[in-house]
Structure formats: structure tokens, C-alpha cells
Structure 1
Amino acid sequence: MEELYITEFDFERKIIIDESLSEYFKPIKIEGYNVDNPELKYEQKNYRIIKEKLPRLHFKINGDLKMHPDYDAEEYISRIMYKKSFDNLDEEELEYVNGLFSFYIELFALYKIDYWNNHYALYKEYIQGEEFSEPIEEVTELKDLLEFLENIEHSEIIIRLKDNWGNVQTDKTKKIAEHNKKVLLENYTRSLYNKWIAQYNLTENLTNEDVKQNVLSLKGNTAIQPVSEAIAILQFKDVKPAFSYSYFEELEKLVTSNTHFDKKLTPQYQFLKIAVPPLNKLIEDYSPDKYKKKDKHFLIFSILKIFRMVPDKEGLLHNGNEDVKEDFIKQMLR
């Protein structure tokens, strides 16, 4: 079994967002977010500061440490630019390859600072808890239910009985009568709405009818940030929580607009779908017309590895299959 060694290098610098980088980097924008501090405004527009320790994986050959292919970005740059190994570069070529490596990782670092450190990493922390995904789903559920309720004449409620194996018993299906469906749906929807209101400590918006239903006695949970921020932005616009489809439609749009979250995808996957295409474009623009696409794909993979942005999944680890690793990058570019 080969011996593996991890080293780290200090990546500390002020990255100036000049014309060469701004062509590929789009700072994250969150609606309703304003920076009043002039210094922060200047930083947001012109530069980012990064201070990280980035890993490199090595293995020993005849007593010498050699870079693991998963981390050997300079090797792939050398193959693309000069069609030869990094070890065979002359001094001028070596300087150019190192400059490109610095350029590429600076672009990815900008995306990591804006989209991962300040955004998707927080999302990852939330969903690793027990209750993050539920509040977001509740917004969509309430929006859908209120749409049914506000269009009750075009909606129907059907109750189905299932057997012990989960199969629907077709002879035990009942459609709720027209004169009953509105009452039934409204009571159910309002009970969810009241719990949602209490969860975000919005009890001042409850009606007298809600108070009668003892909603105020519900113990409010700590607000989950993406939803509560969206609620606050709407309130700032004088749009208060309401038992209406229009409110929850606007809230859902704001949550998804501010977070770009998709409950079906992992935060890491969503981040990479944003960051990898511009990195790919940058590499293509600074590469010769002819090169092996495989080298480009592994260059991208190595940069993701250096930034610890490759999922810990079988096939993507240091002993994983090359085809699986390349397919992973191709997936990010689709």
C-alpha cells in the first residue's frame, strides 16, 4: 500500500477584481441587502481577502514525494500549454504555468468567498440539522394550499384508503362533496399557517380568530435564517404575512432568489454548478486551440480538490476511477 502524505500551503492574499477577473466573476447579489459602510462597498466591488491553508496530497516513489494526480494542477496546465510534463519545463515556461495556476485559483477563490463561505456553507450547516429543509418546504406547501383554496371551484379533495402494503384500495376512494371541501381545506390550511406564524414569532399578525384557536400558546421555534430574512425583507417593503396565495408566492420567490437553493440538490453540488463553468471558460480562453479535454477536466478536478470541494464519495477519492472523476466534472459543465 502506497504511503500518502498531506502538505498544506498558505493561500493568503488580497485578490483584486480587475478586468481580467471581472469578466469571469459575478459577485453574489442578495435582494434587499444594502451596504452602508463605504469601505465595505469598496471591498464588495473591488477586492476580496482570502486566508486559507490549502492541501496537497503526495505519495512516495523511491523515497521521493510526488504530487498525487488529483492535486497536480500545474502538471495539467503544463500538458495543456506545452504538451509536456511540469518537470520538463524551462524557467520561462515554469513561471508562466505558475502564473496561470495562481490566476485560476484566484477566480475559484472569489466564488468560494462569495458563494460558499458566505452562503452555501451556511445552507449546508442548516440542512445538517434536523429542521432546516422543513421550513422551506412549508412555504411552498402553504403557497400551494392557498392557491387551491383561492381557486376552490377548480379544486377537489379526494381521500384514499391504502392496505397494509401501501396499495390504494380503489373501492375505498371518496371525493369530498363540493359544499364541504372549502371548509375542510380552509381549516387544514389555516392550522398550518397558524403554526408557521408562531414558528417565526409573528404572533402580532394573528387575527382574533387565531387567538381563539390557542395559537398563541404554541411554542415558537428559532427562525431559520433564509426564510426569516425573506420575511424581514417583505416587511421592510410593508408586505406583511397574510393568509393568501399572493404573499406566499412572493415569499417563495424571494427565498429562492436570495439563496438559489434547490431542495433536490446538495449545497456543494449547487455551488459547483455555479463556480465550475466560469473556471472552465477562463481555462479555455487562456489555452491553445488544441489540447486534450481530459487534461482540462482533471485540471478543474485538481483545483476543486485543492479547495476541498470534491464530495467524499466512492470513485472521487484518491484511489477512485479516473473516468468517474472526469464524468463528475463533465456533469458540472452540463
Structure 2
Amino acid sequence: MDPSKPESFNHRTEILSTGRKYHFVDQKPEGYDSKRHPTLVLVHGFPDLWYGWRFQIGPWVSRGSRVIAPDMLGYGCTSKPADAQEYSTKKLCADLAALLDLLDIKRAIFIGHDWGSYTVGRFALWYPDRLHALVMLSVPYTPPSREFLSLEEVVRRAPDLGYQLYFASPKSNLEILANLKKFLRITYGPPSPKSGFHNRGSLENLLLAVPDKPRPSVLKEEELEFYHSQLSKGMFGPLNYYRTSKFRHDEELDYGLGPNLRENLPFLFIWGTADLTATPFVIGKAKKFINRYQDVALEGRGHWLMVEAKDEITQIIANWLEGLTCSQPNVVLGERLSGKL
């Protein structure tokens, strides 16, 4: 497993019981035994791929975990339905449960970033008995609400989320695709108070500006090229995630989905202090709904933690998982998780 060579990972493509085709990386540790080795399911966000976890997969496998990293719906070689309703979190979570079923995995540790963080947080509500532990990166847990807030209202209350109005607009599909390399440089920029694309109208102005000014990125050129090759297959799927707020709300309200995570579920939130998406107010609110809440703030880090702080993320999560069961040091991690949680 070489992070600079995507082809060096073990790739699989399968049809799930939900009827959707999913591409995912499936890496097993040496001497893999499903009863002894835990499974980590890594869920990426926007605009990312399984590839976003390239620096973590190998080290976590070497420490005894099986690692599953899918291209989420609409991305890479996974199915790309055109209807935004197909991207509701309930349906995404059903896909993830079906992926576990396909692999004959009863329970796993779920780790998510960005939209993936939101998704794994909802997975913990829809399928509470299928998690050993939950780790969320960059985007804090937000509970279901009985009151629907339109995206316009959300942006009025949180102006730094103004870019989401552009993503929700149908015109963004082709405009972003036509300027994909520039878009990737903008979104994968290093943390900076001068990044200037979060407020309403700023992102499209930057994207469509002529001439284009060179922009720094947390990615290397070959990494940007890989993202470009995969996302150039179409942006309507990834952007559909920003068009699901009413579908998500109605599903959760109809089901009566509660706000609290399972009481005994170990929980870790990791965030960068220079990331505008992780506000202290939302982080503080999340603590009310999570009994075993823990968090780690990475000073000066931005949104793309798996790249900006790749070694820290790898070590923090691995050490945290092992620390959950340190009271039984002579037992393999998978057995300890299965027996204790």
C-alpha cells in the first residue's frame, strides 16, 4: 500500500443488497481473523474519495485492523443516481449497512470526515447496534431537529456556510466541472483567513474569475491529477449531497429519530482550530447528546486533516482505539472491542 500509487491498494466493486454498485478498498491485516481483528469503515466527504484516507489505511492495517474505504454514492466508480433524493442520509446509511452485510461484518468502527462525518453520525442513529465506536473529523455531530431550516436560513445564521447555496444550485454542476482543476485548488487550499470562498457568492466569483491566479494547495500535483481524473466523471452526484436537507429532515421526522447517540458508544471528535466548519458553538452543542464524548483540537490545522495532519490523525485514532480497552492489555483489540462494547 503506497499512498502515492492508488493502484497498490486492494480494490473491489460489488453490487449491494440496496441495488447500488459500490467501489471500495478492502485491506486486511496479516493472518486476518474476523473474530480477532476489528474493522474500520472510513467514510469520506466532499469533494473526496476513498483516496482521502491513503495515508491512514496502511498504518491502521499494520496495527491489526481490517480497513474498508468506499467511494461514496456519486463518486469514483460507485453508482451515480441523478435524483438528489437518492442521496438522503437514511439511504446512504442503508448502503453502509448493506456493505457490512456483504462482507459478513456484524459491527465496525466508523470514522468519517466532512460529509462522511455527518453520515457516520447518522449511521450511529439509524443502526446503533452496528458500531463498536465512532470517530468524526472536522464536522461536529448535529442532532435531528423537529424544525426544518431551509439552506437559506442556515446560511443566514452561519454566513461561513454560504458556499453551500452555490453547491445546491443546479448551475454549479457544469460550472464546477468546466473549471474542475481550479475548483480543486480552491477547496483543497491550505488553512488561511484569506481563503475567501466561504461567504455567499464568493466561491462562484473565484471559480469563474478570469484570468485565474495560481493558488496553493495541501495536495501535490499528482494528487490533484488523481482527484481530477475521478471527479471529471461528473459532479452532479457529489453536489447532490447539498440538495438533500428536506429529504433528510422528513425521513428523520417520520421515523422519530432521536437526538442522542447510544449511551455506551465510545466517541471521538477531531478538529482543526483553523477550520471554519468546526465552530465552538456547534461543538459545544454536540456534547449534550453524546455520553462518552471526547475531542481533540489540532492547533492551526484546517479542514483536510487526513493530509495536513496525516501522522497525527493516524496516531491519535489508533491510540484512542487501543486505549478504549487498555484494561485488558493481553487481549487482541478486536476481541476486546467485541467483548466490552
Taking structure 1 as the reference length, the TM-score comes to 0.23
Larger relative contact order (C-alpha < 8 A, sep ≥ 6)? 1
Structure number with larger C-alpha Rg: 1
Taking structure 2 as the reference length, the TM-score comes to 0.23
- Of Structure 1 and Structure 2, which has the larger fraction of its residues in helix? 1
